[in-house]
Amino acid sequence: MTLFENTGAASTPSPGVALPGAYPRRLYLPGAPVARPSPVGVPSLVFWVYLVACVSLLGLLNFTQVTYIATPAGNFNGDDILLTVVVLGSAPTYLAWRGAHRSRLIRTLEIAWLIYVAILFVSSLSSPVDSLTEMFVNLRFVSRFVLFFPAAAILSTSRNRKAFFAFSLAIAATGTLFNIAQATLGPVSLFSSPVYSADIHGEVGDLYRVYLEITNYIIFVFFLSLCASVVYRRILFTAFAAFLAISFLVIYYRSLWIALVCGLVTVLAIYGAQRRLRRRVVVTLVVVPVVLIASGFALSFLGINAFADVIARIDEGIYAYSTDTGTWGTRVNMAYTMLARFNWNDWLLGAGLFGSYWSDFGVLDVFLHVGVAGCLAVAFLMVSCLSVGIAAVVRCIRAADRLGQVIGGAAAAFTVTLVVYSFPASNFLQPYTMTTLAVATALASAVLASQPTVQPRAAPVRRDSTYPPAVGLGGAKHASPLRVPGPDGGPERGTRR
Q: How many CB atoms lie within 10 A of CB 180?
A: 18
> Can you list the alpha helix ranges (DSSP code H) found in 127-234?
132-143, 148-154, 158-185, 215-232
Residue 238 in contact with residue 264, Cβ under 8 Å?
Answer: no
Question: Can you list the pairs that 158-162 forms with residues at least 24 positions away whose Cβ atoms lie under 8 Å?
Answer: 158/403, 158/450, 159/41, 160/41, 160/42, 160/47, 161/403, 161/407, 161/443, 161/446, 161/447, 162/403
Query: Per residue, what are the HEC states of 77-131?
Result: CHHHHHHHHHHHHHHHHHHHHHHHCCCHHHHHHHHHHHHHHHHHHHHHHHCCCCC
| CB-based contacts of 291, cutoff 8 Å, min separation 6 | 238, 239, 242, 245
Q: Which residue, among 452, 414, 437, 450, has the nearest Cα to 151 in the 3D structure? A: 437
**pLDDT, tens digit only, all 497 positions of the chain:** 443 333 334 444 444 444 444 334 444 444 445 545 555 678 889 999 999 999 999 999 988 877 677 777 677 888 888 999 999 999 999 999 988 887 899 999 999 999 999 999 988 888 777 777 778 888 888 888 999 999 999 999 999 999 999 999 999 999 999 988 888 887 888 888 888 888 877 777 677 888 888 999 999 999 999 999 989 988 889 889 988 988 888 877 888 888 999 999 999 899 888 777 778 888 887 877 777 777 767 666 666 666 666 777 777 777 777 777 777 777 788 888 888 888 888 888 888 877 666 777 778 888 888 889 999 999 999 999 999 999 999 999 888 899 999 999 999 999 999 999 888 788 898 899 999 999 999 999 999 998 876 544 445 555 444 444 444 444 444 444 444 455 444 544 444 44
Q: What sign does the CA torsion over 427, 433, 438, 443 have?
A: negative
CA 64 – CA 141 distance, rounded (Å)? 11
End-to-end alpha carbon distance in the chain: 31
Residues paired with 75 in a beta bridge:
70
Q: How far is CA 419 from its chain centroid?
A: 13
Return d(Cα 219, Cα 171) in angstroms, integer: 12
Q: Which helix (H) or strand (E) holds 493?
A: strand 491-496
Q: What pLDDT, in 10s, does the model give residues 452-497?
A: 765 444 455 554 444 444 444 444 444 444 444 554 445 444 444 4
Which residues, 6 or more positions from 478, have their beta carbon under 8 angstroms from its beta carbon?
472
Question: What angle, 0 to 180 degrees and rounded to 10, lies between the N-to-C axes of helices 235-250 and 275-301?
Answer: 50
> Which amino acid is residue 126, in one-letter code?
S
Q: pTM for this structure?
A: 0.80
For residue 287, the model assigns a pLDDT of: 78
Pairwise CA distance, residues 474 & 20, whole Å = 22
350 and 368 Cβ atoms separated by less than 8 Å? yes
Which one, of 135, 124, 165, lies nearest residue 431 by Cα? 124
Distance in angstroms (rounded) separating the CA atoms of residues 259 and 312? 19
Comparing CA positions, the residue from 221, 180, 156, 187 lying closest to residue 443 is: 156
CB 106 within 8 A of CB 411: no
CA distance 261 to 249: 13
User: Is there a contact between 207 and 304 (Cβ–Cβ < 8 Å)?
Assistant: yes
